[in-house]
Structure 1
Amino acid sequence: MSFIGKKISEARKQKGFTQEELAELSKVNLRTIQRIENNNNEPRGKTLELLCEVLQIDRSELQDLSKVSENNKIGAFVVNAIFLILLNLAIAVTFSYLVMPVEADVNSKFGAILLSFFIPFTIFYYTQQMKATERIFKFGICWMIYITTLLYAQGFRGALAIGFESWIFSCILIYFGVLFYGKVLFKSDK
């Protein structure tokens, strides 16, 4: 519930009004009040003025709450961006550690193959509502940067040799495949 919707709902209940009574007193449509309190709409202009008048709420106080809400959204975006960057780095470092060293054996590489299935499968499980392309962009950007860097540093032939010899390309293909085609692999009610 938004701060404004929550404040209007609290003030209405404090005054002992039902939504229907508030609609009648303020001359605002009942459905509009329901949408405001359910955070589907944010009142503006005349609607906000009418509701504030009936509920005896200071309009500027509600607008200040709206600004605080907007600042919280920006803060959440920054925290989410930092988390995604750190998560992508952890994924890339983990796979590189398992397959890239010269002394990496078949067991280590097979472990990387298993992780390249289970990590994106877990990501898919918790992000089923997300579109596949958005999921790939958010959780696969590390691999896009990795491949670009490898191509730049080693050239096309060198990158192919390193990628297939170390099994990292196999891991990347499985990783992207599971992120993109997760719905095929995971049937759920979500």
Structure 2
Amino acid sequence: MNLGKKIRLERKNKGLSQELLAENSRVSLRTIQRIENNASKPRPYTLKLIANALNIEVTELIEEQNSDSKSPTGTDSISKINLINSSALLGCIIPVFNIIAPVIFWKLNKHNLIVNEKGKRVISFQILWFLFSILVLFAVHLINYKITGEFVKGRLPIVVLIYGLLLFVNVFFIIRTSNQLKKGQTEIYPFTPNLF
């Protein structure tokens, strides 16, 4: 079943007219008609608005489409998502690369709707982890200064130990997500809000 038919079926199952779906999703009626008739392919944001109005996940619409079409398969999408996720490991070598590398791979593959949606979630997690790490390291530095009166004390500063722990947590989530993707589970980082 193609995307237009899937949207039409979901809309009718919910008892909505095209006009009501257009109103609820804040997408023009003409756009809804063109998508349902397969005259145009919706942009990822438009598809997300329609899915929200139908109270379903975007992936429910896309997975069905990918399994029926001869275009990229679900395993191809999953491998691209896994590449985006795993590329964040570069942040262990160069700190900001946990964001830069996934963004590069996401931009190269964002034409695929599933990869676009899940890639944003991976990048959002990495941005939040990075900001949280900076905040924690700054706080530890400040607390250490208040207690000891020095910014650095001892051979191995506490800040380095804390950063190592934060890196371990990030690597744990990356590997856990990679294993989920290898099992075919596409619901990754469910606790992370999309930042864009």
Q: TM-score, normalised by structure 2?
A: 0.34
**Which structure's residues are more often helix, by fraction?**
1
Which structure's CA Rg is the greater one? 1
Q: TM-score, normalised by structure 1?
A: 0.35
